[in-house]
Amino acid sequence: MEEVQLQTGATVLDHAAAMLREERVSTRELRFLSAQLTEALRDALRVAESRGSRLPSPDDAVPVTETHPVPDP
């Protein structure tokens, strides 16, 4: 589901860029585009939050092994 949401967001973003290159765009088209961009951003934030919650917490991190200093010759 996340992949679909992110791909949809990328498609909407491409469409927005193309539309903004147009000299004449109606208010209705811009309002619709704004609604679609808002929804895509909401989905992207939801994906980021979901993925962030799946990251291990610092307490769960694998301990770093100690390195031993190289002796002076």
Domain extent listing, the chain = 2-54
pLDDT at 70: 66
Q: Is the pLDDT of residue 17 over 70?
A: yes
Confidence of residue 2 (pLDDT cuts 50, 70, 90): confident
* One-letter identity of residue 71: P
> What is the reported pLDDT for 63?
60
pLDDT digits (tens, 9 = 90+) for 56-70: 777 766 665 666 666
- If you average pLDDT over residues 12-22, what whole number do you get? 94
Helix (H, G, I), strand (E, B) or coil at 41: helix
The stretch 29-58 carries a mean pLDDT of: 89
